[in-house]
Structure 1
Amino acid sequence: MIGFAQTTGSETLKRYFQRGKDIANKHIEVFGSILRENDLPVVMTWDTEVTDQTSFVFSDKLMLYQMLALNRLGLSYYGLSMSNSPRHDLGVHYTWLMAEIAQFTEDGIEIMIDHGWLEQPPQAADRGQLMNE
C-alpha cells in the first residue's frame, strides 16, 4: 500500500492507499499485542522492502483492483481463521476487523465505479416496482 500510494497520480487513490496502510498497521498491532501477551514472536513487516520509486509503474485501475482482490482474500482468511480457532477471544477481534475491511473494500469499489472502471454490481430486482409497471 505504501508503494501504491507513492506511485499513483490520483489524490483520491493516494488517500485510499494511505488509509489502507493505517488499517493494516492497526491489524498488525492488534494481533501483535496478542502474540506478545502470550510470549510468542511477532512477525516483522515488509515495509523496508518498499523502494523509493515515485514514477507510475502500474495503472491506477490495476493497483486499485489488486488492492480490492487482496481485501477480499484477507476477509476470507479472517473468516476461515475465526471458524477454525478454538480461542473465542480472537473471534471478537476478527469480527470488528472484518467489518473495517469490508467498509474499506466497499469504499474502494465506489472509487472504481466513480472512475468508470467497474459497472454497478448486480442488484436484486425491485419486485414492488416491477409489479407496478
Structure 2
Amino acid sequence: MFHMGMLAAAGTGNYATAAAASQRNDLILNYERLSLEIAQYAKDIANLMIDNEWLEQPPGTMDKEQLIYQKKQNE
C-alpha cells in the first residue's frame, strides 16, 4: 500500500514536470486533470493506511473553539 502511495506521488510529480515542459495548451490541461485525479487517489490511499493504523495521522490544527471554551472555563 505504501509503495502504491509513493508511485502515485511520483506520478503527480511526473505530470507536473510534463505540464511545465509542454508547449501545447491542450496537453497542459490534460496533465493537470490527470495530476488532480492521481492526487485524489493518493489521498484515498493515505486515508486507508491511517484507518488501518499503518500510517500515523499527520498533526492537524488545534480546535480553536474548544481552546476558547476551556480558557473561559478556567477563568
Name the TM tier (shorter chain).
0.7 to 0.9
Q: 2:13 & 2:33 partners in 1: Cα distance?
A: 14
Structure 1 unmatched ranges of 5 or more? 1-63
CA drift of 1:96 comes to 1.3
Give the structure with the higher percent helix: 2
Change (3 A) 1:130 1:84: farther
Q: Which amino acid aligns with 1:117?
A: W
Tell me, in whole angstroms, the C-alpha distance in 2 between the residues paired with 1:116 and 1:104.
18
Q: 1:80 aligns with which of 17, 25, 28?
A: 17
Alignment partners' CA distance in 2, 1:130 and 1:80: 42
Deviations 1:65-114 (A, max 9, x none): 01101111110111121122111111110111111111111111111112
If asked which structure has higher relative contact order (CA below 8 Å, sep 6+), I would say 2
CA distance in 1, matches of 2:65, 2:23: 45
Identity percentage of aligned residues: 39
Q: Matched residues in 2 for 1:129 and 1:80: separation?
A: 42
2:8: which partner in 1? 71
Larger radius of gyration: 2
Query: For residues 80 and 125 of structure 1, do their structure 2 counterparts lie closer, same or farther at Cα, with a shift above 3 Å needed?
Result: farther
1:89 aligns with 2:23: no
- Which ranges of structure 2 fall in alignment gaps of 5 or more residues? 71-75
Counterparts of 2:24 and 2:59, CA distance in 1: 37
TM-score by length of 2: 0.79
Partner of 1:123: 60
